[in-house]
Amino acid sequence: MDVPLGPEPTRIVDNLDGQEPDVYFNIERYWRTIQQYVGELFAWRGLDEVMAEEMTVLPGMDELGNLLWIADHVESGRYDVVVVDAAPTGETLRLLSMPDASRWWIERVAPIGRRMSRLGRPMLERVLGLPVPREEVFVAAERLLDRLGDVHGLLTDPDRTSVRITLGLDKLGVAEARRSFTYFHLFGYPSDMVICNRVLPDDAGPYFERLRRAQQRYLPMVEQEFGPVPVKTVPQFDHEMVGVDRLREIGTALFGSGDPTAVHYRGEPYRVRRRDGAYVLEVELPFTSREELQLSRRTDELVLEVGGWRRTLMLPRALIDAPTRGAKMDDGILRIEFAAPARAGQERQGGRR
């Protein structure tokens, strides 16, 4: 934008604000009570106050605060659209799965801890040798996790949210986008577009010819593997894309005179379900018969081939060690069944038998 941004929204031009969240500002805004307790915990073990303060900035807090800002902006009613430039890896996705993972803590552990804290916190601290959370710490944690649950509901609502994956047309960029795409659908986040960035034009010159040819090989692969989600391209410009005017230039190249907020795809190209202790991966393959389809698997990849059309799905981590039971086609949907992966203890016990 070429405009200084701060931890709160800053006006850039009419009808456009920008924000660059700050982790320390977010901590003060969202979980100061929790931070104070964690600081006490570190100080109890002998860390000086400055070091304890630094240690309370736990991994993931930055992304977590950004997610909470999204809900605040939506509920404020000040904005028609909120655009989030998210982290390109799975860290954000793991944070988004926190509401489900934390429900057990809220329902089971927190009530017990709160009762123990009320009955005899000073005595427990002497016995355990560390600070016991006060009532307000439990309240703040529950409020934070409930709020994150609201964000989860907002971001999984296809009528209010869409995810757009941006990638570079190279081997690493495509592989990273595949994995992100898989996890978005695994956690139920609707994707409506894939954007290939910095695509070299035909007249890029002889110096870039080999790179341009490599990009042109990857482009149809991306269109096949991410379909039916539409794929758009943004060219490599011959100048630095900084400032509002350059942003408009990119917008015109990407959307023309169309509406950037329009939803370009609705549906789930594939999904993973848990059924009877096993997993079922479902893939939409309209106008395809079982005879036309070939399946193969390589460690964490599932390869689908229909005629000259080839698609590679990155399997979720839960399925990497799960043996494949079988597959069938039904009403244009391919269903592949995986057995539940055996635990290490079960494998060792089976070996002794």
- Catalogue all structural domains in the chain, each as residue range(s) with its CATH number: 10-155 (no CATH), 163-255 (3.40.50.300), 270-352 (2.60.40.790)
pLDDT of 83 strictly over 90? yes
Residues 6+ apart with CB under 8 A from 149: 99
Residue 167: its pLDDT value, please?
93
Residue 53: its pLDDT value, please?
57
Confidence of residue 12 (pLDDT cuts 50, 70, 90): very high
Residue 298: its pLDDT value, please?
78
pLDDT of 345 strictly over 50? no
Structure tokens belonging to residue 156:
């999984």
* Distance between CA atoms of residues 240 and 322, nearest Å: 47
Residue 9: its pLDDT value, please?
93
* Positive or negative torsion for Cα 28, 29, 32, 34: negative
Give the 3-state secondary structure of residue 84: coil
Q: How many CA atoms lie within 13 A of 89 on its CB side?
A: 3
Q: What mean pLDDT is reported for the chain? A: 77
Residue 100: its pLDDT value, please?
53
Phi, psi of 7 (to 5 degrees): -75, -10
Residue 11: its pLDDT value, please?
94
Q: Which residue has the higher pLDDT, 52 or 12?
A: 12
pLDDT of 271 strictly over 50? yes
- Encode pLDDT of 139-188 as tens digits: 666 777 777 778 878 888 888 999 899 999 999 999 888 877 866 765 66
Residue 321: its pLDDT value, please?
82
* Distance between CA atoms of residues 36 and 28, nearest Å: 10
pLDDT of 39 strictly over 60? no
Residue 150: its pLDDT value, please?
81
Residue 77: its pLDDT value, please?
92
Which of 190, 135, 137 lies closest to 162 in space, CA to CA? 190
In terms of pTM, does the model score above 0.75?
no
Which one-letter DSSP state was computed for residue 233?
E
Residue 19: its pLDDT value, please?
93
Confidence of residue 226 (pLDDT cuts 50, 70, 90): confident
Structure tokens belonging to residue 306:
């229909």
Of all residues in the chain, the percent with pLDDT exceeding 90 is 26
pLDDT of 44 strictly over 60? no
pLDDT of 251 strictly over 90? yes
CA 190 to chain centre: 11
Structure tokens belonging to residue 222:
């991306």
Residue 348: its pLDDT value, please?
41
CA 89 to chain centre: 7
Assess contact for 349 and 330: CB atoms under 8 A.
no
Residue 252: its pLDDT value, please?
94
* Distance between CA atoms of residues 44 and 237, nearest Å: 55
> Across 49-63, 209-223, 294-308, which has the greatest mean pLDDT?
209-223
Rg (CA), the chain: 25
End-to-end CA distance of the chain: 65
Phi, psi of 78 (to 5 degrees): -80, -20
pLDDT of 134 strictly over 70? no
* Distance between CA atoms of residues 14 and 46, nearest Å: 52
* Distance between CA atoms of residues 185 and 187, nearest Å: 5
Q: Which residue has the higher pLDDT, 309 or 220?
A: 220
Cis peptide before 228 (omega within 30 of 0): yes
